[in-house]
Amino acid sequence: MAHVKIFGYANRISVKPGDTINFHVNADGAANANAQLVRLIHGDQHPDGPGFVEEEIACEANGDWAVKKQYTQIGSFLEAVDPEGRLAIEGSLTLYAFIFPSLPDAGLRQCLLGRWNNIKNVGYCLGINPKGHLEFWVGRGDEVDYVETEIPLIPKMWYFVAATLDRAIGRATIHQESVANRYNGLLGKVCPIDYRSHVSEPFRFRQTHLAETPFLIAGSRDWHEARGPFVSQTYCGKIDRPGVYNRVLNWAELATIMGGALPAPEAMIAYWDTTLGYTDKGIGDLVEDAGPYHLHAWGYNRPVRGQTGWNWNGRNDCFRLAPQEYGGVEFHYDAMIDANWEVTRSVALPAALKSGAYAMRLRAGPGRGLGEEYVVFFVRPSIQKARLAFLFPTASYLAYANEHLSFDAQIIQPMTGQPPILSEIDIEMHKNWEFGLSTYDCWADGNGVCFSSYHRPLVNMRPKHRISSMGVTWQFPADLSVIAWLEHKGYDYEVLTDEDLHREGLDAIRYYSCVMSGTHPEYYSEKMLDATEDFIAGGGRYIYMGGNGYYWNVAFGEDDLSTMEVRKLDSGMRAWSARPGEHYLVTTGQKSGLWKNLGRAPQKLLGVGFIGEGFETSRPYRRMPDSYHRTVSWMMKGIEGEMLGESGLAYGGAAGLELDRYDLQYGTPPHAKIIASSGGHSDNYMLSIEEILYPYPGLAGSQDYRIRADMVYFTAPNNGAVFSSGSIAFGQALPTENFKNNISILLGNIVDAFIAPGMLPGALWVNEEKQWK
């Protein structure tokens, strides 16, 4: 029997009761799957906790679903809209572009520009051949004719390339010249490299065309019996301002284009001016054709726009400043942003769903291992009634979605201090490119992945998953430990997601008394940050349940919130570093990177900010002297002794993984109090990179006093208040000892106080201290 695998995703991540949600499911080796709507309560199977807990919910969609194999298009490319077939040029033609190939030596054919059908060998194309040379070819079905340049392309250098075909004399010519300057490429002038090549050859015939072949930039049309048409021979690298003529341009004419002049209008069929359509608020997926027929091209799998172009000279650092220098569109043959599967089932959710984390549980074949899938989504209330809300950090789920660190990153074992523990699903994801990548991975050419979307199966946004490199739950399954605690304590709470906060701003949380964050809300958009700040300033009470939060500036599209963008740069604990000149978010035009570097350090908002991380042990907190002050001592009601959080599902302690610290120099409110702090962290805990100006020995856990988690509390205007836990492992410490541990008691005291209307406890103990003690 074939190995049964089932994977799926939902079109929406945040819904309300009664909404319709579409499920897209792929099944290998099975035609049926059993579906069951479940509410997720606890997701960590660690023996010290309550284990995996779900609640089956009645739903019209429960029962057998017909499922089938679905195919995923990998690779980013542009497809020109050409209903009149103007690009189906049968006579003389000229193709040209500026290109920055990043993996010409991959040993694969990569298409740059062309109307090429690679299964029927019909059409024309300019591309890179498996030897790494630029090549132009035409086909008529039974035969293909090629002309290639003399020398291979050098990776990561800008070239001007062109090919012409003269129908009258049956001759094809290919041109390649370097347009490198001091800034725009990998190698400098000191390399004795002659990049130029011009080759001409007689062709035996002219190209023919098929009506259904599209004109593609960075790919060509392929076909498979079961799958139908798709795109293959995709490209890795950048393309800038390509164009097509239906006549032969001689080298003198081409050289003027290479020099930066506008292409001549005579016989121009298309000229995709990649620098058009840039706004102060970002760039869309449509590449405009400035030629006579407006054959605009649509991006698939998010080609990265607004990247440095062939003429970028280092003076400007953003496409907003000099759009004409930012014509680069970057393609990757392993990019996969949206799986675009057919809808398997459209489900009308019950009208009386309690707000929470839900999943459609799908079981096929044996119903375990890869035969079981949880398609997770979040249900908000129809009308907000509760005083308490839990905010699922879905932006951060996206950032980590399908991360490959254990397999690809050599640094991960020294970082986490342990060999990875791989589950079946991790290995499946590593084997199969169709799952796409996370913002912790690099594309095949080594450039960092800046987009992540939830329109694809997310293997780590599901219960029971443990992040392989660390051997603990991370993000969503870890956040379920907080949900389980809320359930256990019987609080009346509702949930919402980052997406709601981004879309609705303050309105999404305005009516709640208290909002609790997830355990690791690391990725935050400006709108989310503004809403959180306004909420607290407006009298809201906020519990920051994790560590290393509010760290990266990210962006969501105006109309499509399913895809998130981030650029990692300059400093910060980062899996990759954006190239020079590419530090701005193409989605919004904002500079990405750390919020701290943009003037909004998390300390300013929550009193604490990231200080260090380590992954093999956790530590408890010990009460700090400030916690005995009567403004805050109410938090310790029912707690004996000074130690807090001596157990936990993440390495047996409440202070662990990533730690946040109180720091006045980054804007911790001057009246904030340190309630408790951890200490005695092992040397696997290292100071975060943005804190290091010069590295020197002794920046590890056992020798640097700054490496610690601080629980910080401060009051905000209008009876608002913030409690920050200071560590990711804090949330995972809640479920131990059947929720009867002192972290649970502490958090209970805080939540009870935060949801109570009126003044905060201890609010009146603010007079100046008497000098008796």
Partner 1 sequence: MTNSWRNPLYLWDVKDAVEELPTIDYVSPQEVWDRTRSSDAVMLPVGRLRYYYKWSGHGAALWNRLRYWPTRRRVLNIRGEYNPKTLRSEKTIVDKRPIWWLLGLLALALAPLFVPADLQNTLLTAGATFGIYAAINLCWMLIIGTAGIYSLATYAVVGVSAFGTAYLSIQYGIPWYGLPFIGAMIGLLSGLIIAIPATRLDGFYYALLTLGLNELCRVYAQQSRLFGSSTGGLYGADSYIPQSWDQHSQSLLAYYACFVLMIMALCLYRLINGRRIGRILRMAPEKREAFAEATGVDYRRARIFVFVISSIGLGFIGGFYTAHFRGVAFSIFSFDTVLLGLAMLVIGGLGRAEGAVVGTAIVILLDKILISMGPVRLLLIGVIMLGVVLFLREGLFGVKAQFRAWRDKKKSERRSTRAVKGGEMLPEEVTETKNKDLSYWRRYDKMQRDYLRTLISSELIEEHQRSPLGQHSEPLERLLLYFRRAPMADKYAIAVVEPFKAYRIVALSGHRGVAPRVVEDRIYGSQNEAYHGVFLRRVQDLLES
Interacting residues with partner 1 (CB under 8 A): 45-47, 133, 143, 145-147, 149-152, 154, 173, 191-194, 196-202, 204, 251, 334, 404, 406-408, 410-411, 413-414, 417-424, 427, 430-433, 444, 464, 466, 468, 471, 616-617, 619, 646, 651-653, 679-684, 702-703
d(CA 477, CA 58): 23
Q: How far is the CB of 332 from partner 1 (least distance, A)?
A: 13
Q: Which is nearer to partner 1, 180 or 199 (CB)?
A: 199
Q: Which is nearer to partner 1, 200 or 279 (CB)?
A: 200
Among the listed residues 537, 540, 563, the one whose alpha carbon sits nearest the alpha carbon of residue 388: 540
Token pair in block for residue 412: 């991960």
Q: Which is nearer to partner 1, 475 or 617 (CB)?
A: 617
Among the listed residues 736, 742, 747, 752, the one whose alpha carbon sits nearest the alpha carbon of residue 481: 736
Q: Which is nearer to partner 1, 58 or 411 (CB)?
A: 411
d(CA 43, CA 485): 12
Q: How far is the CB of 131 from partner 1 (least distance, A)?
A: 9
DSSP classification of residue 506: G
CA 440 remoteness from chain centre: 8
d(CA 181, CA 47): 60
Q: How far is the CB of 364 from partner 1 (least distance, A)?
A: 20
d(CA 98, CA 305): 14
Q: How far is the CB of 152 from partner 1 (least distance, A)?
A: 7
d(CA 484, CA 472): 17
Q: How far is the CB of 368 from partner 1 (least distance, A)?
A: 10
Q: Which is nearer to partner 1, 311 or 684 (CB)?
A: 684
Q: How far is the CB of 60 from partner 1 (least distance, A)?
A: 33
d(CA 483, CA 421): 25
Long-range contacts of 129-138, Cβ-Cβ distance < 8 Å, separation of 24 or more: 132/104, 132/105, 132/106, 132/107, 134/159, 134/161, 134/174, 134/176, 134/197, 135/174, 136/95, 136/163, 136/165, 136/172, 136/174, 138/165, 138/172, 138/203, 138/205, 138/206, 138/207
d(CA 62, CA 35): 5
Token pair in block for residue 327: 């014509």
Alpha-helix runs per DSSP H in 526-644: 526-537, 602-606
Q: How far is the CB of 384 from partner 1 (least distance, A)?
A: 37
Q: Which is nearer to partner 1, 197 or 355 (CB)?
A: 197
d(CA 485, CA 491): 9
Q: What phi and psi, each to the nearest 5 degrees, are found at residue 530? A: -60, -45
Q: Which is nearer to partner 1, 533 or 646 (CB)?
A: 646
The four Cα atoms 476, 478, 482, 485 give a dihedral, to 10 degrees, of 120
Q: How far is the CB of 40 from partner 1 (least distance, A)?
A: 17
Identity of residue 620: P
Q: How far is the CB of 680 from partner 1 (least distance, A)?
A: 3
Dihedral sign from CA coordinates of 657, 662, 664, 666:
positive
Token pair in block for residue 84: 């009149």
Identity of residue 44: D
d(CA 455, CA 72): 11
Q: Which is nearer to partner 1, 522 or 704 (CB)?
A: 704
Q: How far is the CB of 174 from partner 1 (least distance, A)?
A: 10
Q: How far is the CB of 596 from partner 1 (least distance, A)?
A: 29
Q: Which is nearer to partner 1, 149 or 275 (CB)?
A: 149
Residues, the chain, total? 773
Among the listed residues 186, 232, 205, the one whose alpha carbon sits nearest the alpha carbon of residue 145: 205
CA 232 remoteness from chain centre: 24
Q: What phi and psi, each to the nearest 5 degrees, are found at residue 611? A: -130, -30
d(CA 96, CA 177): 11
d(CA 686, CA 611): 9
Task: Decide the pairing of beta strands 216-217 and 77-80.
Answer: antiparallel
d(CA 503, CA 272): 33
Q: Which is nearer to partner 1, 147 or 218 (CB)?
A: 147
514-516 sheet: strands from edge to edge: 493-497, 388-392, 514-516, 541-544, 720-724, 710-716, 673-678, 621-623, 643-644
Q: Which is nearer to partner 1, 144 or 598 (CB)?
A: 144
Token pair in block for residue 301: 């799998």
Among the listed residues 480, 499, 481, 432, the one whose alpha carbon sits nearest the alpha carbon of residue 459: 432
Q: How many CB atoms lie within 10 A of CB 679?
A: 15
Q: How far is the CB of 207 from partner 1 (least distance, A)?
A: 14
Q: Which is nearer to partner 1, 277 or 420 (CB)?
A: 420
Q: How far is the CB of 287 from partner 1 (least distance, A)?
A: 29
Please answer whether residues 514 and 542 qualify as being in contact, where contact means their C-beta atoms are separated by less than 8 angstroms: yes
Q: How far is the CB of 165 from partner 1 (least distance, A)?
A: 14
Q: Which is nearer to partner 1, 150 or 212 (CB)?
A: 150
SS3 of residue 166 by DSSP? strand
Q: How many CB atoms lie within 10 A of CB 271?
A: 22
Q: How far is the CB of 204 from partner 1 (least distance, A)?
A: 6
Q: How far is the CB of 707 from partner 1 (least distance, A)?
A: 12
Q: How far is the CB of 196 from partner 1 (least distance, A)?
A: 5
Q: Which is nearer to partner 1, 152 or 557 (CB)?
A: 152
Q: How far is the CB of 54 from partner 1 (least distance, A)?
A: 16
Q: Which is nearer to partner 1, 250 or 313 (CB)?
A: 250
Q: Which is nearer to partner 1, 156 or 380 (CB)?
A: 156
Q: Which is nearer to partner 1, 435 or 595 (CB)?
A: 435
Q: Which is nearer to partner 1, 213 or 617 (CB)?
A: 617
